[in-house]
Amino acid sequence: MVVLTLLTLFVVIPLYVMVTSAAKPLQDVQNGFTWWPSRPTLQPFVDMWSTVPLARYLVNSLVVSTIAAICSVAVAIFAAFAVSRYRFRGRGVFSVTVLSTQMFPGILFLLPLFLIYVNLGNATGIELYASRTGLVITYLTFSLPFSIWMLVGYFDSIPRGLDEAAQVDGAGPLRILFRVILPAAVPGVVAVTVYAFMTAWGEVLFASVMTDEGSRTLAVGLQGYSTQFNVYWNQVMAASLVVSIPVVAGFLALQRYFVAGLTAGAVK
């Protein structure tokens, strides 16, 4: 009980400080910490949209994260189905390669991807650097391998007897996948989707290098509240709260699928 109470305070106190700081004038935040605003105000929630182009950053993050999650899940479903249900030459090498990509830090791929995008743009005119498309491809490089690995574990937990029964009825591989496997694997697919979305939503390293003012995402754009002469702490807190609402709401709505998918994928 003591440990649980300490962990609860560890989570609740920072959240409370964030909420109260967002309801304070900037001068109150800078003068010194107080547990309650002396002059509560909602002005930071209004000013945060004009101090930086927060709406543009929000749209960029939503577009990039959603497309990255959809593409990651779509490719991972077919790859995981092949690895889970078929025995083919190179299957073991493929599985080890997919898993081994998680061993390398992301910064290891930053410079090579940057050079590839720039050189590709110069040679072909295909602008991947400082574009949403390039950022989506970048996020797929580290969300897709983990997505495949998770779905392989979940597909392995589905009895093969279901496949055999469908084959008796004349179902082919695609029909088995879409009519038998996927309906039984909804929790795993949701877990992978949430993981891919959250990975792209909060990523900072690649977004800080691969974007410009027009394609910048929220994770990097929030730095705009810090200028050469001032830091708008109340607006930072207000913006952090506002942009967290969609993610938290979606996570809570899909929580039961997410936990079930993670558990099933982990035991295999």
Q: What is the pLDDT of residues 23-50, one digit of tens each?
A: 988 888 888 778 888 888 899 999 999 9
pLDDT value, residue 28: 84
The SS3 assignment for 25 reads: coil
Residue 99: pLDDT above 90?
no
Selected residue with higher pLDDT from 2 and 217: 217
Place of tokens 């800078």: 30
Answer yes or no: is pLDDT of 80 > 60.
yes
1-23 pLDDT per residue, tens: 788 888 888 888 988 889 998 99
Residue 199 CA to residue 197 CA, distance in Å, equals 5
- Summarised one tens digit per residue, pLDDT across range 134-191 is 999 999 988 898 899 889 988 988 888 888 888 888 888 889 999 889 988 888 898 8
pLDDT band (50, 70, 90) for residue 207 = very high
- Mean pLDDT of all residues in the chain? 86
Find all residues with CB under 8 Å of 79, minimum gap 6, and list them: 148, 151
Model pLDDT for residues 218-264, shown as the tens digit of each residue: 989 988 898 878 889 899 999 999 888 877 887 777 776 665 555 55
The number of residues making up the chain comes to: 268
Q: Which pairs from 105-111 meet CB under 8 Å and 24+ separation?
A: 106/142, 106/205, 106/206, 107/205, 109/141, 109/142, 110/205, 110/206, 110/209
d(CA 125, CA 197): 29
C-alpha distances (whole Å) from 252 to each of 190, 217, 247, 248 are 12, 23, 9, 6
Beta bridge partners of 231: 226
Stretch 50-60: mean pLDDT? 92
Inform me whether the pLDDT recorded for 130 exceeds 80.
yes
Q: What are the structural domains, with CATH classification, of the chain?
A: 1-40 (no CATH), 53-265 (1.10.3720.10)
Q: Out of 87-91, 146-150, 210-214, 248-252, pick the least confident.
A: 248-252
Query: What pLDDT band is residue 73 in, cutting at 50, 70 and 90?
Result: very high
Q: Please list the residues that pair with 226 across neighbouring strands.
A: 231
With CA atoms as reference, report the closest residue to 58 among 220, 235, 238.
220
For residue 184 the two structure tokens come to 């039984």
pLDDT at residue 266, as a whole number: 43
